[in-house]
């Protein structure tokens, strides 16, 4: 068994919550994941993560979204900020290298998105260029509120899966 998973399985509830919280940013998700312990394998943890995520309320999803900095920024106020922020910087590394105009367009797009939908624009940025992210942002601005919330939730699910794998070292 994965050493990190084995240790986490036996951690206290509070320690386990604090350790896994940066992978998602939703307190309800972290608590439900901890309550499902022990996990026998990385695969069982990853599958449970998806089941738990899609069983959460929209408010829980919004909490997770709020744990991320805006695309192109590095600041977050989340409780699990230090680990999560490091991952965000890595995930958005292509944005940091973008041309100034693209960065400005992303910044303006972020503001317009937040004004329209009431939460930050969230996208699984790993492996995407700034131009690709900007195009995704523009496309998603055409969505209706409920459809966009579900799209953002799917992006968060993908981010959570990547972060769980980083956390587990797989």
- Among candidate residues 5, 61, 68, 72, the one labeled active-site is 68
Q: What gap in Å lies between CA 90 and CA 2, rounded to an integer?
A: 24
Q: How far apart are CA 134 and CA 92, in angstroms?
A: 12
- Alpha helix locations (H) across the chain? 3-10, 13-20, 27-35, 42-54, 58-65, 81-91, 93-96, 100-117, 130-140, 145-168
Residue 74 appears among annotated catalytic residues? no
Hey, which residues are catalytic here?
68
């Amino acid at each position: 068994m994965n050493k990190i998973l084995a240790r986490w399985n036996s951690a206290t509830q509070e320690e386990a919550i604090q350790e896994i919280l940066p992978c998602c940013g939703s307190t309800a998700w972290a608590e439900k994941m901890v309550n499902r312990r022990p996990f026998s394998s990385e695969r069982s943890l990853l599958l449970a993560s998806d089941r738990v995520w899609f069983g959460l309320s929209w408010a829980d999803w919004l909490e997770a979204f709020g744990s991320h900095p805006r695309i192109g920024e590095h600041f977050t106020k989340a409780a699990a900020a230090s680990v999560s922020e490091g991952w965000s910087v890595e995930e958005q590394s292509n944005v940091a290298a973008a041309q100034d105009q693209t960065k400005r367009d992303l910044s303006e797009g972020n503001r317009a998105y937040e004004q329209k939908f009431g939460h930050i624009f969230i996208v699984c940025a790993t492996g995407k260029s700034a131009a690709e992210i900007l195009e995704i942002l523009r496309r998603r601005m055409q969505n209706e509120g409920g459809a966009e919330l579900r799209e953002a939730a799917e992006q968060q699910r993908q981010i959570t899966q990547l972060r769980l794998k980083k956390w587990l070292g797989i």
